[in-house]
Amino acid sequence: MAGKGNDSPAIGIDLGTTYSCVAVWKHNRIEIIPNDQGNRTTPSAVAFVDAERLIGDGAKNQAPMNPANTVFDAKRLIGRRFSDSNVQEDMKLWPFKVIQGPDDTPKIVVTYKGQEKEFLAEEISSMVLGKMKETAEAYLGEVVKNAVITVPTYFNDLQRQATKDAGTIAGLNVIRMINEPTAAAIAYGLDNKSDIAGKINVLIFDLGGGTFDVSVMTIEEGGIFEVKAVAGDTHLGELCKSVNPDEAVAYGAAVLASKLSVRNTPIPTSRSKQYYTAYDNQTAVDIRVYQGERSKSTDNHLLGTLSISGIPPAPKGVSGVMVCFEIDANGILTVTAGNISTGKVEKLTITNANGRLSKEEIEKKVKEAERYKYEDQEFKKKADAYNALEDCLYKAKNKIKNCKVRSEILKEMEKAIAETTKWLTDNQAAPFAELQLKMVHLEFVCKPLF
């Protein structure tokens, strides 16, 4: 999960629905990193107020006074469609506004700095991840780039990719995504190394603030973990119908489903299958990739469609393609297709996986995240300068009462204090440079007081 990489230490982030946590491997043990409030967990909430953006405890603390602009539960939205029945039910409980964006993508609407802003769930999650990154950097005293992020076992391919995108927007290189119960089992194994002899079976019961996972695993001596079965749900109802992407089902044109991977197949894994043309002289084929266990394709979750062209014209069933589905350790699906007739192999990506962010969109969101971070830093710098000037005035007013200097110098100091006090009252939104200038002037005139 963590340790020293080539450039920086890697951290582990538990991105939760209600709370998040960050840890690092240091001094030959795992250390949970406290945030700037001294808490080991941080609320997964982001608030937008008139002049700044609050993340974590600050967002949670002001939520009762600013509910419409305090966003939480982003994990329930990430990688989902606006029309998803779960999203529609959750919207009834949220105080913030969610609208339908392009490609049925849910967008969160808030008022920030007097303007209406729209954010994707990936952006909100990236802000929470960014907070975790900053927490780790403050603790370690160095820049953090690499991270392992936990996800619920039942997260589908879109939800996993969207979580990875959120990490990218936050400035993190997501080196691995790990299922939450698996992470819990690893922690159990590390804490009980001496108690494990031979092979033991473990039931991991992971009940969080917004998700519920159960996994059955085996742990062997030497720290060998094997996941045997998983199940979970976001709303504590019946077992979740969706399953991991290793159960992807491929469909050719007008061809019924054929399961490539059975339930609970360990990942990473890959499966291949040949598909042939459905009619004479067919030169192209669409392959629809579904996730689920239902026999009827429409009852499963469509992950995306890829199109293959350049198939030599031939009678039905002669020409075809070999399709390979690969699931990596993060549970993310990649499809590779080869033209059987020509022997030419091409690596293809799912072209219409609506709900995912394109490379260009991710780059745009990264720049926006950097801008928001810069604005936050500028606001803090200005707030610190304002508070410093206010504190300087307070000290000057107290000390001038007992200051024994010539009357003309005393009058100059009193005048400077009065003018600066009035200016500060009238210019609460003054820029950093002006605040600094006023501070320098006040300290110069009132030098006998400091």
For residues 268 and 303, state if they share a domain.
yes
208-239 burial: b if 16+ Cβ within 10 Å, else e: bebbbbbbbbebeeeeeeebeebbbbbeeeee
State the pLDDT at residue 118: 94
User: 402 vs 125, which has greater pLDDT?
Assistant: 125
Kindly report the CATH number assigned to the domain that includes residue 132. Answer: 3.30.420.40
Residue 192 lies in a domain: no
Per-residue pLDDT averaged across 67-96, rounded? 92
Q: Is 106 exposed, middle or buried (0-12, 13-18, 19+ CB in 10 A)?
A: buried
Per-residue pLDDT averaged across 175-202, rounded? 72
pLDDT at 112 over 70: yes
Radius of gyration of the chain (CA): 28
Q: How far apart are alpha carbons 204 and 182 in whole angstroms?
A: 8
Residue 190 corresponds to which tokens in the numbers above? Answer: 């590390």
For residues 256 and 396, state if they share a domain.
no
For residues 145 and 35, state if they share a domain.
yes
For residues 22 and 89, state if they share a domain.
yes
Q: ∠275-280-282 over CA atoms, to 5°?
A: 60
User: 358 vs 63, which has greater pLDDT?
Assistant: 63
Which domain, by its residues, includes 387?
Answer: 370-449
Residue 193 lies in a domain: no
Residue 282 corresponds to which tokens in the numbers above? Answer: 């067919």
Query: 359 an active-site residue?
Result: no
State the pLDDT at residue 322: 81
Residue 425 corresponds to which tokens in the numbers above? Answer: 């009252």
Quick one: what percent of the chain has pLDDT higher than 90? 25
pLDDT at 26 over 90: no
Query: 145 an active-site residue?
Result: no
pTM, rounded to two decimals: 0.65
Per-residue pLDDT averaged across 242-260, rounded? 28
> Which of these is catalytic: 206, 213, 246, 247?
206
Query: 375 an active-site residue?
Result: no
**pLDDT class for 1, splitting at 50, 70, 90?**
very low
> Which of these is catalytic: 122, 123, 134, 180?
180
pLDDT at 268 over 60: yes
Domain count, the chain: 3
User: 405 vs 145, which has greater pLDDT?
Assistant: 145
User: 49 vs 329, which has greater pLDDT?
Assistant: 49
For residues 52 and 134, state if they share a domain.
yes
For residues 122 and 259, state if they share a domain.
no
For residues 171 and 38, state if they share a domain.
yes
For residues 144 and 251, state if they share a domain.
no
Residue 143 lies in a domain: yes
**pLDDT class for 69, splitting at 50, 70, 90?**
very high
Dmax (CA) for the chain in angstroms is 108
Query: 36 an active-site residue?
Result: no
Kindly report the CATH number assigned to the domain that includes residue 339. Answer: 2.60.34.10
State the pLDDT at residue 255: 27
**pLDDT class for 202, splitting at 50, 70, 90?**
confident
For residues 8 and 140, state if they share a domain.
yes
State the pLDDT at residue 265: 58
For residues 52 and 143, state if they share a domain.
yes
Residue ending a domain, choose from 153, 179, 205? 179
Residues 6+ apart with CB under 8 A from 333: 157, 245, 248, 289, 303, 325, 326, 327, 350
Residue ending a domain, choose from 140, 155, 179? 179
Residue 353 lies in a domain: no
pLDDT at 259 over 50: no
Q: How far apart are alpha carbons 429 and 441 in whole angstroms?
A: 19
> Which of these is catalytic: 60, 75, 133, 164?
75
- Name beta bridge partners: 173: 146
Q: How far apart are alpha carbons 1 and 175 in whole angstroms?
A: 9
Residue 225 lies in a domain: no
Enclosing H/E stretch for 390 = helix 359-399
Residue 101 lies in a domain: yes
pLDDT at 331 over 70: no
Taking the CB of residue 362, how many other CB atoms lie within 10 A of it?
A: 18
Q: How far apart are alpha carbons 130 and 120 in whole angstroms?
A: 15
Per-residue pLDDT averaged across 147-156, rounded? 85
